[in-house]
Amino acid sequence: MIDIAILRNNPEAVKENMIKKYQQNKLHLVDEILDVDKKCREYVTKGSELRGKKNELSKQIGIYFKNKEIEKANETKKLIANIDEQLKDLEVQEEQLIKQRTSLMMKIPNFIDPEVPIGPDDTHNVELQKFGEPALKDFEIPYHTDIMESFSGIDIDAARRVSGNGFYYLTGDIARLHSAVLTYARDFMIDRGFTYVLPPFMIRSSVVTGVMSFEEMDAMMYKIEGEDLYLIGTSEHSMIGRFIDQIIDEKNLPYVLTSYSPCFRKEKGAHGLEERGVYRIHQFEKQEMIIVCKPEESRDWFVKLYTNTVDLFRSMDIPVRTLECCSGDLADLKCRSIDVEAWSPRQQKYFEVGSCSNLTDAQARRLSIRVKGEDGNKYLPHTLNNTVVASPRMLIALLENNLNADGSVNIPKVLQPYMGGKTKLVPNKK
């Protein structure tokens, strides 16, 4: 959500930003908001005038009583009572208009960064840099679930019977490798100065609407029936929600946090849930990075965050690349986003394993998060988030890139301490 003052003073800039994001269907919202905002301000002005008139009449009552003009005093009381009724009606209508204005404002996309390439969808995302040499195996690489099954490491059929499509059981060494990656990622981020946090895995609707757009909410979130609670789609949701309605002392910035959580997503409208793979699923686990900082620091933090993900993958000898997301591929609250993609030797292409986003002050404004500066003035902080690692997507990249011709999988050196010293996984069935 952007500042209403920007929309009032420069509505054409707001419309231009919508056009760059290929959201021409929302252009009408600008005029609707301005109309509602005008009415709202008229009500505020009228309310101020009535309160001023009430104050004058209240003073006059004292004078009437002092002069023993009781009849005039009683008549003035009636006038004040009438004003009170008008104010009561005005306040109700003003509150309704404010809610309507806020609801409309939450549909307005955040301003994109000048560096964001303009394009309608992810096919127009721009490659920035490659890290590591993509592996070209001289043998056929099986589908990732076939690799897992060779270690008796996955049971999708049982998960389908228990939970339906989009779920899985991981077992044995594959389950251990999954946990090893997440634990290593946690320690990797702690070593880089991030504070480790375990957040709530359910959040209230006031937090949901504060951290994402209505479209994202509908496509992603699972609601707990009968309660004002949603399962989180990523720990970013509850991590940013932690600061809702808070005034942060500037001396505590930046908050440099890393969090673990299971993640639950409906993946509404997504393709791939009927497949036997674990690339797109309803439940997975993730280590995340969260930053709450001064506005002038967010661009530097943005680079640091996605660099951390690149360094993590390269420490496991997995080739990756970074992609700048184009304007049409940015969610409404995002100012800028860079995806990190890992190399898939089987597909001979890169696939997404993480996404780094700068949301500037959009989430802070929605959640009423403010910072009190040294000068006593309050301002909105910037928030950023980035995937450290999401498993089992990480498992796909790890298994494919470390697979040997005999079906064994080399365990990267950095993961070996988390695997009981094992250096290699050996299949137990063909």
Query: Where do the domains of the chain lie?
Result: 4-105, 122-425
Question: What is the fold of 122-425?
Answer: BirA Bifunctional Protein; domain 2 (3.30.930)
Paired sense of beta strands 424-425 and 409-410, if any: antiparallel
Residue 7 to residue 13: CA distance in whole angstroms:
8
- Looking at the domain covering 4-105, what would its CATH class be? mainly alpha
Q: For the purposes of burial, counting CB atoms within 10 Å of the CB of 423, is it exposed (0-12), middle (13-18) or buried (19 or more)?
A: exposed
Closest-CA residue to 395 (of 147, 155, 186): 147
- Strand 336-344's sheet: what is its strand order? 126-131, 320-324, 336-344, 349-358, 382-391, 283-293, 255-264, 195-197
Report the run of H or E that residue 341 belongs to, with start and end.
strand 336-344
- pLDDT of 94-145, one tens digit each? 899 999 999 999 999 999 999 999 999 999 999 999 999 998 888 999 999 9
Tell me what the pLDDT averaged over the chain comes to: 93
pTM: 0.90
Determine the pLDDT at residue 76.
86
- pLDDT of 283-323, one tens digit each? 999 999 999 999 999 999 999 999 999 999 999 999 999 99
